Structure 1
Amino acid sequence: MKIEVPVISAFVDGNSGGNPAGVVLHAERFSHAEKQRIAAAVGLSETAFVSPSDAADIKLEFFTPTQQIAHCGHATIATFSFLQQKGLLANDRSSKETIDGLRSIIMEGKAAYMEQRAPRFEALNEPDLQAALLSLGITTDDLIEGAEPMLVNTGNSFVVIGIRDGSTIKGLEPDFGLIEQLSEALDLIGFYVFSFDGVGEGRDAGARMFAPRYGILEESATGMAAGPLACYLRERLASQKQEFTIEQGRWMAEPSPSVVNVRLTVGTDNRIENLYAGGRGAIREVIEVEVNPSPDLM
């Protein structure tokens, strides 16, 4: 049979750009294997599958073209933006169930904000640091002074790397095989490479995201990576801000400018307790995908 899959661009910058994700409703119809085949047929970096939940407003599962992942920021924003536009959300405060727990969602107008956990930081050992730099074709001289590359996790793990010059980050030619090897070794989604140089007015940083381990060479907006970057900027680079605007996608070979807003909740001890990353989603198109249901679902 054929199913219709809306494609929603999340974290749009103005009325364009963003990162597209497929959204499949009534996903309880499909087995795990069928969801994986659908995601592969959709062919986007992530596709979200929406099912009923006994613990939250909805259950969300995320699949790349090659495998399931625990969380996906832009597919979450795409899903809740779509549900709101279709009148399927009862309240501005909502929630999602994922394979590793529950998360709150807050709607503000056309923007959706998703909860992430307090950050966990881990320094890279010297061999892993050198492998990361080699994979990007850069040296320590290219790094932002005082910005030690680190693994940061607010639900998913990314290596965050600050590059001094905008021209350098724009001209990166990554070794995706080496990035994939290091991502496997460190259990990463991928690398989130950022710069302060050459970003738009009112933006705190510009970033690129590489995740070949999950079949994603580069994507244009990554809410689950922008969250760790905001935490890194506050706790490791001593920014006193509690809200950050991260742009992404503008330095891709085929630009798709995106904007992710991150709001940090800071406790009395000045430590980050949790955070919300969000932005707007816009319906791009609806595509048809062929899927053969399991016999017990026919």
Structure 2
Amino acid sequence: MEVKVQIVNAFVDGDHGGNPAGVVLDADSLTSEQKLQIAAQVGLSETAFVSRSALADFKLDFFTPAKQIPHCGHATIATFSYLQSLGRIPSAHTSKETIDGSRQIWMRGEQAFMEQKPPQYQSVPELEERIFQSLGISKDDLIEGKSPIVVNTGNSFLIIPLQNQHILRELKPQLAEIESISQQLHLIGFYPFSLQTQRAQRDATTRMFGPLYGIPEESATGMAAGPLACYMHDIMSIKKDSYLIEQGYLMNPPSPSLITVELEKNEGAIQKLMAGGKGIVMQQKTVVL
């Protein structure tokens, strides 16, 4: 059996960079085992499989080369950008069904925005020294008065506030230890950040390490940018309605990405959030099962 896979770069910054995801349309007949085989052959951090849904406009299943995950930000943006280019989006307010429930998707021109849940926070003081050692940093490298915190808006990420971009660039990730901590805390990965940015009028520069899911480093992570925006709003008191998050600039080689996060609040409390960006189709691959 031959399966066509579109490679779509999501969260591109302008028309460049971004994070590539595989997108397979009309995947109703594929089994979970076949989807995992396809994702492994595609070899990207995530591949999305699109099927019919009785609950939403589309059903999406997300697979890394190693396992299925509940949500994936950049693969969602890649999928809906591609569907939009084919004229298959029924309206500007559309939706996806996942194994963890249904979520709203908003289309704004070339950009797609995905719904995330209100944030949940978990402090992890007992693991701080292990966290620091896993990145080759010390407590002195953190923003003064701030600590790493697990934030969940659908998936859990460890948000790590660093003083400057130099420290972020020079991190020495010990992937085996990051994987061990991620397994213990049920994380997708670590999301260290700096408030220093590559370009003006942006709010943070980030990196993402997700070895538990076969991702040594990722260039754009929409499901992590949401938790970071909530952390900046609630923990750092940077009160805004919209945040611009850079990622991928500090990778080798760089793959610049830009994620927009918009918060919906009631009396100052975050009720939900939308994370979005633009996707561009780069190529098509054929996988043989």
TM-score band, normalised by shorter chain: over 0.9
Q: 1:218 — aligned with what?
A: 217
C-alpha displacement at 1:198, in angstroms? 4.2
Q: Deviations over 1:171-198 (max 9, x none)?
A: 1120000000000000000000100124
Match of 1:131, SS state, is helix
Q: Deviations over 1:193-228 (max 9, x none)?
A: 100124311110000000000000001000000000
* Residue 197 (structure 1) aligned with residue 176 (structure 2): no
1:281 to 270, 279, 286: 279
C-alpha displacement at 1:125, in angstroms? 2.7
* Residue 64 (structure 1) aligned with residue 47 (structure 2): no
C-alpha displacement at 1:147, in angstroms? 2.2
Normalised to the residue count of structure 1, the TM-score between the two structures is 0.96
Match of 1:155, SS state, is coil
Q: 1:260 — aligned with what?
A: 259
C-alpha displacement at 1:82, in angstroms? 0.2
Q: 1:47 — aligned with what?
A: 47
Instruction: Write the letter of the residue equivalent to 1:237.
Output: M
Which moved further from structure 2: 2-11 or 150-159? 2-11
Q: 1:78 — aligned with what?
A: 78
RMSD: 0.7
Q: Deviations over 1:222-244 (max 9, x none)?
A: 00000000000000000111100
Instruction: Write the letter of the residue equivalent to 2:49.
Output: F
Instruction: Write the letter of the residue equivalent to 1:274.
Output: K
Separation in structure 2 between the aligned mates of residue 67 and residue 254 of structure 1, nearest angstrom: 26
C-alpha displacement at 1:131, in angstroms? 0.8
Change (3 A) 1:22 1:146: same
Q: 1:161 — aligned with what?
A: 160
Q: 2:129 — aligned with what?
A: 130
Separation in structure 2 between the aligned mates of residue 2 and residue 116 of structure 1, nearest angstrom: 34
Match of 1:28, SS state, is coil
Q: Deviations over 1:35-91 (max 9, x none)?
A: 000000000000000000000000000000000000000000000000000111111
Instruction: Write the letter of the residue equivalent to 2:280.
Output: A
Normalised to the residue count of structure 2, the TM-score between the two structures is 0.99
Q: 2:19 — aligned with what?
A: 19
Aligned length: 289
Kept in 1: contact 2:97–2:103 (CA 8 A): yes
Match of 2:283, SS state, is strand
Kept in 1: contact 2:56–2:96 (CA 8 A): yes
Q: Deviations over 1:137-188 (max 9, x none)?
A: 0000000112221000000000000111211111112000000000000000
Kept in 2: contact 1:146–1:237 (CA 8 A): no
Structure 2 unaligned blocks of 5 or more: none
Q: 1:294 — aligned with what?
A: none
Match of 1:27, SS state, is coil
Kept in 1: contact 2:22–2:46 (CA 8 A): yes
Instruction: Write the letter of the residue equivalent to 1:13.
Output: D
Kept in 2: contact 1:211–1:218 (CA 8 A): yes
Separation in structure 2 between the aligned mates of residue 83 and residue 52 of structure 1, nearest angstrom: 13
Kept in 1: contact 2:197–2:203 (CA 8 A): no
Separation in structure 1 between the aligned mates of residue 150 and residue 197 of structure 2, nearest angstrom: 24
Kept in 2: contact 1:105–1:114 (CA 8 A): yes
Structure 1 unaligned blocks of 5 or more: 292-298
Q: Deviations over 1:219-278 (max 9, x none)?
A: 10000000000000000000111100000000001100000000000112x110000000
Identity rate, percent: 52
Separation in structure 2 between the aligned mates of residue 92 and residue 188 of structure 1, nearest angstrom: 32
Match of 1:38, SS state, is helix
Kept in 2: contact 1:210–1:218 (CA 8 A): yes
Which 4+ residue blocks in structure 1 deviate beyond 2 angstroms? none
Change (3 A) 1:88 1:198: closer
Kept in 1: contact 2:197–2:246 (CA 8 A): no
Kept in 2: contact 1:143–1:164 (CA 8 A): yes
